[in-house]
Amino acid sequence: MRLALTVSASLAVVGLASAIAACAVSTLPSGGPNATSAAAPLPTFRIGPKGANADDAPEISRSTGVRGGFVIMWPRMLPENDPDLQLKAAKVQHRLAVIAHEAFPDAAIDVRPEPEKVCPRDGCEGVVLGIIMKKRESGCIIAAFTAKHGQSDSLIVPWVGAVEAKGPAPFREPPESYLTIHKYGSCATIDDSLKSNGAVGDETAVVAAVKAAKE
């Protein structure tokens, strides 16, 4: 009898402890009180319809995108044959795609490969986003440009470094020709931002330009 009572008491204690533990778990948020939210998903890139002839120059985009979406051109680089700048270009292009996706999560995003950086003669169906990058020694500048669908001018906005646009670049003219550089930013700082998937410089003007181009 004494053994039975001891076993019963032990089971009761175990049951009470389990109940307390269950209550404690149920009152805490999943992952614990210091858990952080899951990382935001990256945008899904969707390739738009073919938009250029096979005999066009390689720089002509083979896609015009889709109406209501974005076409993100391969960055325009100076100098073009700098391996370090080419690595940065791909990452900055991806960052611009993320900015567009965060502003318009449901919009189609068509990221063009190297060396496609200009629309066909009739323009693009989607909103065009592009990048200008220039490197001099350890200094870099980045500017973004936007153009509405069709044969539209490109509006240039600063991104990294002190740059100034002389005005909108006419349709299919090199936007870098309409850019004045006053001061270069740090290439190393750009690298650090890209490694952490963070903002590249002050992106306020870039975000505003992306939103305005879509309206």
Spell out the residues 6+ positions from residue 175 whose beta carbon is closer than 8 angstroms to its own.
76, 130, 132, 143, 145, 154, 156, 169
Contact (CB, 8 A) for 171 and 147: yes
Which pLDDT tens digit goes with each residue over 192-208?
988 877 899 889 999 99
| Cβ atoms within 10 Å, residue 59 | 14
Distance CA 106, CA 90 (A): 23
Minimum mean pLDDT among 52-56, 137-141, 207-211: which range? 52-56
Q: How far apart are the first and last CA of the chain?
A: 83
Contact (CB, 8 A) for 125 and 73: no
| Cβ atoms within 10 Å, residue 143 | 26
pTM comes to 0.77
Return the residue matching tokens 């019963």: 8
Give the residue from 131, 130, 172, 168 showing the smallest Cα distance to 151.
Answer: 172
Spell out the residues 6+ positions from residue 127 whose beta carbon is closer than 8 angstroms to its own.
65, 69, 70, 71, 146, 147, 148, 149, 213, 214
Which pLDDT tens digit goes with each residue over 41-97?
445 555 555 555 667 899 999 999 999 999 999 999 999 989 999 999 999 999 999
